Amino acid sequence: MGVLAQLEAWLPPAPPAIDWAAHAYRWQRRGARGWLDAVRQTAPIHLGDLQHVDRQKAILERNTLAFLRGKPANNVLMTGARGTGKSSLVRALLDAHAGEGLRLIEIDKSDLGDLGQIVELIRGRAERYIVFCDDLSFEEGEASYKALKSALDGSVSSPGDNLLIYATSNRRHLMPEYMHENLDAQHQPDGEIHPGETVEEKISLSERFGLWLSFYPFAQDDYLDIVRHWLAFHGCDTDQIHDARTEALQWALERGSRSGRVARQFARDWAARHV
């Protein structure tokens, strides 16, 4: 009995029961065990808060609504400039459609090998789950790269019809690309080009996402529109919003970016000092 007690002390505790009433979860891991940890309070953001990404918003919501209604839908890869609303769009979709059965599971890149466990946990559930991996990119030789490729398209087992994968990345093909890889391309006498196997391997992962959405840096007027939106959100009046223009531009110049994230950060700072 003493030996058994010592062994139990070394074993990790059993994962907690899943709160299926929650709208969002984080995938947690302890040793060999993983579980869905309910998020009690999600960050409040609405689709109307995300401006000057109307095309991307419309496509992503259309795909998500098709998924919720049991129609064909695609896994989505969102790439492009930092701070332009990629991850915020996913959270805003949850805010808009959680009442229709949409659920969100956040997963770290290092845990992508556990996707099979997640599929089994939610298999048969009536809700529709988006597995969301933010800021996804891989270095050479990472094991989770192969796991994601298999989960997207290529595994003999089906992920079920109640799960999609949404990911954001600053890299279009998710992995670093080097100049020397272009030297592996073979140019045939008939003019046909055969890219090197290294390049093919890197492109093959991003191609398994059915939808690619690109996000671009904002123009100055777009950035100022977003600043005005968030200043109004924080209670600034018309005169205060007008007076903030010059400082908002200086703020963006110091940050080296005119993005939605920078605009919201400025609005918080300005409102704290003037409201």
The pLDDT tens digits of the residues spanning 41-96 come to: 888 899 999 999 999 999 999 999 999 999 999 999 999 888 899 999 999 999 99
Asked if 105 contacts 128 with a C-beta cutoff of 8 angstroms, the reply is no
User: Given this model, what pLDDT does residue 114 score?
Assistant: 87
How far is the C-alpha of 215 from the C-alpha of 73, rounded, in Å?
21
Ordered by start, the domain boundaries in the chain are: 15-215, 220-274
pTM: 0.81
User: Angle 86-72-174 (CA atoms, 0-180°, nearest 5)?
Assistant: 35
SS (H, E, C) the chain: CHHHHHHHHHCCCCCCCCCCCCCEEEEEEECCEEEEEECCCCCCCCHHHCCCCHHHHHHHHHHHHHHHCCCCCCCEEEEECCCCCHHHHHHHHHHHHHHHCEEEEECCHHHHHHHHHHHHHHCCCCCEEEEEECCCCCCCCCHHHHHHHHHHCCCCCCCCCCEEEEEEECCCCCCCCCHHHHHHCEECCCCCEECCHHHHHHHHHHHCCCEEEEECCCCHHHHHHHHHHHHHHCCCCHHHHHHCHHHHHHHHHHHCCCCHHHHHHHHHHHHHHHC
Structure tokens at 188: 């045939």
How far is the C-alpha of 130 from the C-alpha of 138, rounded, in Å?
21
User: Given this model, what pLDDT does residue 180 score?
Assistant: 45
User: Given this model, what pLDDT does residue 202 score?
Assistant: 53
Segments in the chain below pLDDT 70: 1-14, 32, 138-147, 149, 153-159, 171-206
How far is the C-alpha of 228 from the C-alpha of 245, rounded, in Å?
9
Torsion of CA 207, 210, 212, 213, to 10 degrees: -170
Instruction: Give how far the C-alpha of residue 167 lies from the chain's centroid of Cα atoms, to the nearest Å.
Output: 4
Q: Could you please state the CATH topology (level 3) that the domain comprising 15-215 is classified under.
A: Rossmann fold (3.40.50)
Pairing of strands 102-106, 128-133: parallel
User: Given this model, what pLDDT does residue 60 score?
Assistant: 97
User: Given this model, what pLDDT does residue 34 score?
Assistant: 85
User: Given this model, what pLDDT does residue 3 score?
Assistant: 60
Structure tokens at 250: 């200086």
Asked if 87 contacts 134 with a C-beta cutoff of 8 angstroms, the reply is yes
User: Given this model, what pLDDT does residue 181 score?
Assistant: 45
* Locus of tokens 């988006």: 130
User: Given this model, what pLDDT does residue 179 score?
Assistant: 44
User: Given this model, what pLDDT does residue 215 score?
Assistant: 93
- Give the count of beta carbons closer than 10 Å to the beta carbon of residue 182: 12
